Chains A and B, each alone.
Chain A
Amino acid sequence: FDSSFCLFSLAVKILLFYVIFYGCLAGIFIGTIQVMLLTVSEFEPKYQDRVAPPGLTQVPQVQKTEISFTAADPKSYDPYVKNLEKFLKDYSADQQTESIIFQDCGEIPADYKERGPYSESQGQKKVCRFKREWLENCSGINDPTFGYRDGKPCILVKLNRIIGFKPKPLANGSLPEEVMAKYNPYLIPVHCTAKREEDADKIGTVDYYGMGGYPGFALQYYPYYGKLLQPRYLQPLVAVQFTNLTYDMEVRVECKAYGQNIQYSDKDRFQGRFD
């Protein structure tokens, strides 16, 4: 009896020790994490060196970045259409009615809209409206299949959101010729080309729709103030429609955004461009 009691009390002691020990460690862990969180602002991250320069991404995106469908078979493009529809829901006019939140920022690209410090002191920040109509054929208003049923697929191009990031347009002369046509000093132009030389003639005509008919991102949408201050922020979009694609061929398209602080990296295929 004695020895079993001893064993029992020893087991209790050890159990108690571990409960206390791990309790303390858990406390220390949670405590340190809390302290660390105190040093981090709610409104903007401390560092952005890993997320900038921004990536350029496309909608629709289902499973892969690749899009393939048969114009005659609605089922084959249904996921893309749904994806686009879902994405554009926030851009519908009826979603942008509250004037406390939204603000008209004009019909043509203009300069950055600074909205004060990154803190709650002035409450939530306003958000520029982005009219879905600007996307014309790709807005899904007239054609709910975004051109897919005609074999003229639309994709939406967006620049990844980064708090406080102000894309700088390239100077007039330094832009490549093909985007010079519709130059605007407050615009980050977007241009899509064939990734491979041999695809160049298969890609056909490419139509761009954006704010005020400009193929790019207007500067008044920048900078972004973050999820807390601009919960309903609408990032500017550019719709790209391939109206004369060669069918039944794999065509690799590369879209690029042009800006002084938009860079491309060999390692990151989505930084400032995508294909």
Chain B
Amino acid sequence: MVKKKSDVYSVEIYGTKDLEKTETGDKDEKYKDLKGNKKKKKTEDLKKELDLDDHQLSPSDLEEKYGTNISKGLSSARAAEILARDGPNALTPPKSTPEIVKFLKQMVGGFSILLWIGAVCSWVSFGIQFAQGAESPFDNLYLGVVLALVVILTGIFAYYQEAKSTNIMASFSKMIPQQALVIRDAEKKELPADKLVVGDIVEIKGGDRIPADIRLISAQGCKVDNSSLTGESEPQSRSCDFTHENPLETKNIAFYSTTCVEGTATGIVINTGDRTIIGRIASLASRVGNEKTPIAIEIEHFVYLVAGVAVSIGVLFFIISISLRYKILDSIIFLIGIIVANVPEGLLATVTVSLSLTAKRMAKKNCLVKNLEAVETLGSTSIICSDKTGTLTQNRMTVAHLWFDNQIYSADTSEDQITQPFDQSSPSWTALSKIVTLCNRAEFAPGQENHPIMKRVVVGDASETALLKFAEVILGDVMNIRARNKKVAEIPFNSTNKFQLSIHETEDPNDKRFLLVMKGAPERILERCSTIMINGKEEPLDSEKAEAFQTAYMELGGMGERVLGFCHLYLPENEFPDTYPFDTDSMNFPTSNLCFVGLLSMIDPPRSTVPDAVSKCRSAGIKVIMVTGDHPITAKAIAKSVGIISATSETVEDIAKRLNIPVEQVNRREASAAVVNGMELKDMSLQQLDEILCNHSEIVFARTSPQQKLIIVEGCQRQGAVVAVTGDGVNDSPALKKADIGIAMGIAGSDAAKNAADMVLLDDNFASIVTGVEEGRLIFDNLKKTIAYTLTKNIAELCPFLIYIIASVPLPIGTITILFIDLGTDIIPSVALAYEKAESDIMNRRPRNKRKDRLVNEQLAVYSYLHIGIMQSIGAFVTYFTVYAEQGFLPSTLLGVRVKWEDNNINDFEDSYGQEWTKYQRLYLQWTGYTAFFVSITIQQVADLIIRKTRRNSIFQQGLFRNKVIWVGIFSQIGIALILTYGLGHVTALNFTPLRFQYWFVAVPFAILIWVYDEVRKLFIRRYPGSWWDKNMYY
């Protein structure tokens, strides 16, 4: 089975053989979580796919096999038949959970179960009371209904939030329907690509996306970019010849979703939709288990914690109340109260809102979050495995260095160059620029005169494009220069010659000579030269000058740059008159003894924002690993220039070179950096990989295939890291899925990658990840604050029930009133905490350890529950006792009165002064007590809100007024409380009564006490870091 599994992944590039030997033996673990019986069948399917022999068949055999005709194509009727049989040529999107299931999940997830229990208990006790014919049994019915409503409403809310964020994605993934040029009924037709069927004859040309798996039957200069399949960015040529046994290696098959870069080709569709290679990989990726996000784990942990507290206190007091000889019915009612008091009903909604606020903020910074929870995952990321091309770099070749006159000049490689600063006065430069301009087939696509040069679309390959843009920036209108120097002959670049040559008339009307310009691989160019231009003068190419050339070439090459050599020759007028017939086949003109002019080197330069972002990552304790399909030297050069490999660190090879000893003798631990070649990786055992990941802080994986990325990701995860992975190709999707957070590229990314990812970078820019990390860390901190804030008042809501049961005082606060706090006054303030700014530089600390740094830790719970919570309860109880005392019931009278107090038939209940109270008068007083308790909690929650702004710093360091939303929260809190008490104070069902104004202030001293106490706590934490206080009081 292990072996089969390896097939799936190795197949994608290397065919079955290559990886097999690495996969057997101790690799059992490697695909542990990818294994599963379900996949077995799939794997075998894929294997069957490999037995595909279409590439070995002749066109006529193919015609027969698919019942088609190469020149006429299928008939429309036949095509429709096959379409009906095979289905449309499109990848089936990953199966989504039915909406109703999603909705129901929201209804029973989290605390909902507890609340349902509460609601059912209410209804049961209503039923019992109703059957017994008690006087006001409807209270419990209402309570049950309210609880059920709370669950349903929060469920709907959470569902809506989730649906909203999914919708963003859905709209995003909708693509413009792709068209394909098909021959059907002997006619060329443009058809939507999803209507293609097996046997169709399609024509492709440069720029097209291959619409299906195609066996080529004719090709002219066709090159395909297989990067979405294999990650190799170099275009590969395609022809109609059968070149390799392995269908994945042979040149006569082009794969679905890859792009044709240049040339044209015609082919027979051999596979469509999910049966294409890419389709198989994509559907396999969707089977890689999606890991639970760290924040989901944290929230689950928190829910368990709080639910545990709620249930255990509830059951404990259920038992206590029964042993205190309360009626079962009463005990059930207590149980409901305790559950409702303990469950922070509004919290999960608050968390969702906070996350979606952050998601919105991140979307503005070009991070589109698909899954809300991924917002935080990014914050806890400790390793980022980043692509090079496009993510770290600008994804376009740019001229980086020039060498002429024995000197290296650097060119500006930034994204928006307008001029080039290097010295352009030398006549050698004039000559070089002429070659660059003329010996170039690339052209700007028409109609872009107003675009900045760097953004214009160019027809031509990457190097030529770079040279064209370079020339355009310095010289101005290149097309005009070319027109003035008419081209008379041309030999395009090919891999045997390794040069490109063209012959031009000169623009000087008096100069009748032809100019021969040539560019190509530097060593090949140099071979053809006998002179070299220095300061505009041709000088003989002696060994010293050749040495200088070698040094420069090595230096530029060592920087990972693609180097081109340029030379020219003015053809003598007498030998080559105006009418000379240049023939490129017989080469009736000199191609040696030319004059060497200079070198130009190109690189895909790093984005200007990346070095800063990488150093930010580093100070944030995030390891950035580069995983690229590129050459190690290029990879290392880019890694160095962006700081993934810092200036001072060395690889094993560097040390060996410096000390002049063989690589084997170097102590591997001395090298902080490592550049690992994909080939080496293939032969490595898991232990070796782990060792590399452990021992080196700066790692570059070069020449890796996208599926090796998966191995690397798993390796990182074995270290306990939270891994973010960027990717764009279809083949990246397993790694994207496997990663804790998969980040797909919005511009370059394939749909499959976007589907597998949790986040989409709209600008493909690595720096956006860093802002995402920052937001993620901030939201984690702020959620801590929100939760601490919300949990605190649970104690103030719970204590009344406990005191009520134990001391038999009139109930201090009603269940409905508690719901008004949880879902009324507290909601906006707790969301407001999500807007809190970071306390210190969050990008200067290590990522959180997902095992140790919990969202809700012991300290948070203890401090909220046992410190601030208790203080709040005391404040609220003082208000409660004050209200009762001032109405005639002194605290001493209240103890133990519960049974008589609640007796409907006692209407002459005596208070401390000998006055007699009817039942309703007492009830009304009880509601006044509820209101007073409610108001006290609200007032103290204001203090709680303010202290929660920071966890370590003083409020005054943080600034009381910097977060305006907090003040919105405070005013809303007080406003809602005012409306409830004075506006709705006469609605009996809500149990609020208008309250004397002074009672609003009874709890104020306690609110101040809370503030002062917390300031003292923070002061000690700052003053005595590491002390027992710090350890126990910092949450």
Best-surrounded residue of A37, A49, A270 (most CB of chain B within 10 A)? A270
B878 and A162 within 8 A (CB) = no
A29 and B878 within 8 A (CB) = yes
Q: Which residues of A contact B888 (CB under 8 A)?
A: 45, 48, 51
The CA-CA distance from A162 to B914 in the complex, in Å, is 8
Q: Which residues of B contact A48 (CB under 8 A)?
A: 887-888, 915
Q: Which of A60-68, A166-174, A237-245, A250-258 contacts B (4 or more CB under 8 A)?
A: A60-68
Of residues 879 through 901 on chain B, the ones whose CB sits less than 8 Å from some CB of chain A are 881-882, 885-888, 890-891
In this assembly, does B1009 line the interface, its C-beta being within 8 Å of a C-beta of chain A? yes
B913 and A50 within 8 A (CB) = no
In this assembly, does A268 line the interface, its C-beta being within 8 Å of a C-beta of chain B? yes
B620 nearest CB across to chain A (Å): 32
Which of the residues B874, B886, B905, B924 comes within 8 Å of A28, measured between beta carbons?
Answer: B874
Which of the residues B870, B885, B1028 comes within 8 Å of A40, measured between beta carbons?
Answer: B885
B167 nearest CB across to chain A (Å): 49
B397 nearest CB across to chain A (Å): 62
Known: A50-B925, A65-B905, A160-B908. A268 touches B918 (CB 8 A): yes
B886 and A47 within 8 A (CB) = yes
| CB closest residue in chain B, given A227 | B914
The CA-CA distance from A43 to B203 in the complex, in Å, is 104
B1028 and A46 within 8 A (CB) = no
Known: A29-B877, A33-B891, A45-B911. A55 touches B918 (CB 8 A): yes
A154 nearest CB across to chain B (Å): 18
Which of the residues A14, A28, A224, A268 comes within 8 Å of B1032, measured between beta carbons?
Answer: A14
In this assembly, does B912 line the interface, its C-beta being within 8 Å of a C-beta of chain A? yes
| CB closest residue in chain A, given B1027 | A13
The CA-CA distance from A32 to B877 in the complex, in Å, is 11
The CA-CA distance from A215 to B448 in the complex, in Å, is 107
Q: Which residues of B contact A36 (CB under 8 A)?
A: 878, 881-882, 885
In this assembly, does B916 line the interface, its C-beta being within 8 Å of a C-beta of chain A? yes
Which of the residues A18, A49, A161 comes within 8 Å of B916, measured between beta carbons?
Answer: A161
In this assembly, does B142 line the interface, its C-beta being within 8 Å of a C-beta of chain A? no
Q: Which residues of A contact B887 (CB under 8 A)?
A: 45-51
A29 nearest CB across to chain B (Å): 5
In this assembly, does B919 line the interface, its C-beta being within 8 Å of a C-beta of chain A? yes
A45 and B886 within 8 A (CB) = yes
Q: Which residues of A contact B171 (CB under 8 A)?
A: none
The CA-CA distance from A227 to B918 in the complex, in Å, is 18
B886 and A55 within 8 A (CB) = no
The CA-CA distance from A49 to B883 in the complex, in Å, is 12
Known: A50-B887, A270-B907. A33 touches B878 (CB 8 A): yes
Of residues 3 through 36 on chain A, the ones whose CB sits less than 8 Å from some CB of chain B are 10, 13-14, 18, 21-22, 25, 28-29, 32-33, 36
Tell me the count of chain A residues lying within 8 A, CB to CB, of chain B. Answer: 48
Q: Which residues of B contact A22 (CB under 8 A)?
A: 870
The CA-CA distance from A10 to B396 in the complex, in Å, is 61
In this assembly, does A226 line the interface, its C-beta being within 8 Å of a C-beta of chain B? yes
Which of the residues A10, A29, A270 comes within 8 Å of B918, measured between beta carbons?
Answer: A270
B983 nearest CB across to chain A (Å): 19
Q: Which residues of B contact A236 (CB under 8 A)?
A: none
Known: A13-B1028, A47-B886, A267-B988. A55 touches B908 (CB 8 A): yes
Known: A55-B921, A268-B920. A32 touches B878 (CB 8 A): yes
In this assembly, does B195 line the interface, its C-beta being within 8 Å of a C-beta of chain A? no
Q: Which residues of A contact B924 (CB under 8 A)?
A: 50
B903 nearest CB across to chain A (Å): 9
| CB closest residue in chain A, given B996 | A47
Of residues 63 through 102 on chain A, the ones whose CB sits less than 8 Å from some CB of chain B are 63-65
Give a binary string over A210-251; 1 marks a CB under 8 Å from any B CB, 0 the rest: 000000000000001011101001000000000000000000
Best-surrounded residue of B886, B890, B919, B921 (most CB of chain A within 10 A)? B921
B981 nearest CB across to chain A (Å): 15
B912 and A227 within 8 A (CB) = yes
Q: Which residues of B contact A54 (CB under 8 A)?
A: 916
Known: A36-B878, A40-B886. A163 touches B908 (CB 8 A): no
In this assembly, does B973 line the interface, its C-beta being within 8 Å of a C-beta of chain A? no
Q: Which residues of B contact A40 (CB under 8 A)?
A: 885-886, 890
The CA-CA distance from A48 to B915 in the complex, in Å, is 10
The CA-CA distance from A2 to B928 in the complex, in Å, is 56
Of residues 976 through 1035 on chain B, the ones whose CB sits less than 8 Å from some CB of chain A are 988, 996, 1005, 1009, 1028, 1032
What is the count of residue pairs linking A and B with beta-carbon distances less than 8 angstroms? 122
Which of the residues B871, B890, B918 comes within 8 Å of A25, measured between beta carbons?
Answer: B871
Known: A50-B924, A158-B908. A45 touches B916 (CB 8 A): no
Of residues 408 through 451 on chain B, the ones whose CB sits less than 8 Å from some CB of chain A are none
Which of the residues A14, A28, A230, A271 comes within 8 Å of B1028, measured between beta carbons?
Answer: A14
Which of the residues A33, A50, A161, A268 comes within 8 Å of B914, measured between beta carbons?
Answer: A161
A160 and B918 within 8 A (CB) = yes
In this assembly, does A139 line the interface, its C-beta being within 8 Å of a C-beta of chain B? no
Known: A44-B913, A55-B907, A163-B913. A37 touches B885 (CB 8 A): yes
Best-surrounded residue of B908, B910, B1005 (most CB of chain A within 10 A)? B908
In this assembly, does B72 line the interface, its C-beta being within 8 Å of a C-beta of chain A? no
Q: Which residues of B contact A122 (CB under 8 A)?
A: none
Q: Which residues of B contact A51 (CB under 8 A)?
A: 887-888, 911, 915-917, 921
In this assembly, does A121 line the interface, its C-beta being within 8 Å of a C-beta of chain B? no
B997 nearest CB across to chain A (Å): 13
| CB closest residue in chain B, given A161 | B916
Q: Which residues of A contact B921 (CB under 8 A)?
A: 50-51, 55, 268, 271
A163 nearest CB across to chain B (Å): 6
The CA-CA distance from A178 to B1019 in the complex, in Å, is 77
| CB closest residue in chain A, given B920 | A268
Known: A10-B1028, A29-B877, A270-B918. A45 touches B913 (CB 8 A): yes
Q: Which residues of B contact A29 (CB under 8 A)?
A: 874, 877-878
A32 nearest CB across to chain B (Å): 5
The CA-CA distance from A202 to B703 in the complex, in Å, is 105
The CA-CA distance from A158 to B500 in the complex, in Å, is 119
Q: Which residues of B contact A161 (CB under 8 A)?
A: 910, 914-916
A37 and B890 within 8 A (CB) = yes
Known: A33-B891, A36-B885, A51-B887. A162 touches B877 (CB 8 A): no
In this assembly, does B867 line the interface, its C-beta being within 8 Å of a C-beta of chain A? yes
A28 nearest CB across to chain B (Å): 7
Known: A55-B907, A161-B914. A25 touches B870 (CB 8 A): yes
The CA-CA distance from A143 to B915 in the complex, in Å, is 31
The CA-CA distance from A227 to B924 in the complex, in Å, is 23
| CB closest residue in chain B, given A9 | B1028
B917 and A55 within 8 A (CB) = yes
A265 and B920 within 8 A (CB) = yes
The CA-CA distance from A10 to B887 in the complex, in Å, is 47
Q: Which residues of A contact B920 (CB under 8 A)?
A: 265, 267-271
In this assembly, does A274 line the interface, its C-beta being within 8 Å of a C-beta of chain B? yes
The CA-CA distance from A161 to B908 in the complex, in Å, is 8
In this assembly, does A57 line the interface, its C-beta being within 8 Å of a C-beta of chain B? yes
The CA-CA distance from A29 to B888 in the complex, in Å, is 20
Known: A29-B878, A55-B908, A57-B918. A46 touches B870 (CB 8 A): no
A46 and B914 within 8 A (CB) = no
A221 nearest CB across to chain B (Å): 14
Give a binary string over A129-168; 1 marks a CB under 8 Å from any B CB, 0 the rest: 0000000000000000000000000000010111100000
A162 and B915 within 8 A (CB) = yes
Extra inter-chain contacts (4) besides given A40-B885, A162-B916, CB under 8 Å: A36-B882, A230-B914, A233-B914, A265-B920
A-B contact pairs, 12 of them (CB 8 A): A18-B866, A33-B881, A36-B878, A37-B885, A48-B887, A55-B918, A55-B921, A160-B908, A162-B916, A163-B913, A270-B907, A270-B918
> What is A's interface to B at a CB cutoff of 8 Å?
10, 13-14, 18, 21-22, 25, 28-29, 32-33, 36-37, 40, 43-51, 54-55, 57, 61, 63-65, 158, 160-163, 224, 226-228, 230, 233, 265, 267-271, 274
- Which 6 residue pairs are nearest across A and B when measured between Cβ atoms? A227-B914, A268-B920, A55-B918, A160-B916, A45-B888, A270-B918
